Structure 1
Amino acid sequence: MTNNTTEENVPKSFSNSKAVIEYLAETFPACFSVKGDVKPLKIGIFDDLAKRLENDEQVSKTKLRTALRQYTNSWRYLRVVTVGAVRVDLDGAEAGIVEEEHASHAQETLQASQAKVKQARAEAAKAKAPQKKGPPRASAKVAARAKPKAKPAVKPKEEAVVTMKEAIEPAALRVGQKVAVKLGKNPVLATVATIDKTEAQVQLDSGMTLKVAISELHAV
């Protein structure tokens, strides 16, 4: 079966609101304008458009409503919506005037839109601006002067000096027992860690461990 439908018979579909507005300006030139001055539209103009274009397959009501919103929110349109300005219908005939309430709303919308664009431009310019460099680094001499002096090293705590008593009998020696052992010229306090026949490993209070003969351990 041969398809007789040609490309010319397929209705065009507008891809965006700009194309719809251009179509409306071509269809209703006395009402809509793409360039130059515009005129305030009749209140309820959408219903008139929907009725006049109800058999037009090129534009849906949804796209028509979106395009109309874009048209009436443009800066050039909002600027002409002033008190007493004449509104027009699709054929360019007078269809009422702009009242103060609608004029005030149009000016507020215009100012808000302009402020938003101004802020966006300022933020974009700020983002493109070169970043400020940080303060220059201090010279080596200045850094050396600013560097805090190191605190003097704390001397390790000296071992407590004790008086040695009698030598401990090997049979009486126990792990964990406090004893005195001679370290250098002075006796110091230690704790028995391990016992191995004639020798014992002791730990000083400083944490150091020594292996000494049991005969060198004394009671404290």
Structure 2
Amino acid sequence: MGFEQLATLRDQLAQQTKTEKPIKPRRKMVDETTAKPARKADPLVSIIGLLQKNFPLAFPKKPAPKVPLKIGIHHDLAAHAEQLGLSAADIRAALKKWCQGKRYRECIVADTARVNLQGQESGIVSKEEATYIDRRKSQTQASEPA
């Protein structure tokens, strides 16, 4: 192929691109300069969000303090599992994550009322439970590097 043929081919392609509708590049939804790298969403976070939406008095959103949950509340949640579209394993995992946090440990104080799913009093935190949590707090703080 000679230079003359290449030149005519180039002109034909240029003419063809002028007549065709240009393809627009896809826009990014977030400014790339300030965007954080994408993280995989934790499925437990969405389950906890579902619990917060359906039972806001038992599972308050930040910055409200967490409240001590009724002993055996997982049975109450299991009764709502089908309605919420959750399995028993999902409920157990979400409750475990909810109760392991610092905000939950801070709410476990002796003689504090425990709440059911509707936020009504359903028992109290015993002194033994509060002592156990205090020991766990001090063990956690001791194991953290200074």
TM-score under structure 2 normalisation? 0.65
- Flag as ranges the 4+ runs of structure 1 deviating above 6 A: none
Aligned match for 2:59, one of 15, 26, 32: 32
Q: Which has the higher contact order (CA 8 A, sep 6+)?
A: 2
**SS class of match (1:96):** strand
Pair 1:41 & 2:74 matched? no
Quick one: distance in 2 between partners of 1:18 and 1:55? Answer: 18
Q: Deviations over 1:173-201 (max 9, x none)?
A: xxxxxxxxxxxxxxxxxxxxxxxxxxxxx
Quick one: distance in 2 between partners of 1:110 and 1:16? Answer: 26
Closer, same or farther: CA 34–109 of 1 in aligned 2, 3 Å: farther
Name whichever structure is richer in strand by fraction: 1
Percent identity over the alignment?
33
Aligned match for 2:90, one of 40, 63, 67: 63
Q: Does the 8 Å CA contact 1:72/1:78 hold for their aligned counterparts?
A: yes
Q: Deviations over 1:145-174 (max 9, x none)?
A: xxxxxxxxxxxxxxxxxxxxxxxxxxxxxx
Aligned match for 1:54, one of 75, 82, 87: 82
Q: For 1:42-121, what aligned pairs fall within 5 Å after superposition? A: 42-57=70-85, 59-116=86-143, 118-119=144-145
Quick one: distance in 2 between partners of 1:109 and 1:18? Answer: 24
Quick one: distance in 2 between partners of 1:68 and 1:97? Answer: 19
Quick one: distance in 1 between partners of 2:79 and 2:130? Answer: 27
Quick one: distance in 1 between partners of 2:66 and 2:117? Answer: 13
Q: Deviations over 1:53-97 (max 9, x none)?
A: 23432x221121011011111111111101100100000000011
Gaps of 5+ in 2: 1-40
Quick one: distance in 2 between partners of 1:63 and 1:93? Answer: 24
Q: Deviations over 1:86-109 (max 9, x none)?
A: 100000000011001111111122
CA apart distance, 1:49 = 0.4
Report the structure number with the largest CA radius of gyration: 1
Closer, same or farther: CA 56–80 of 1 in aligned 2, 3 Å: closer
CA RMSD of aligned residues (A): 1.7
Amino acid at match of 2:78: A
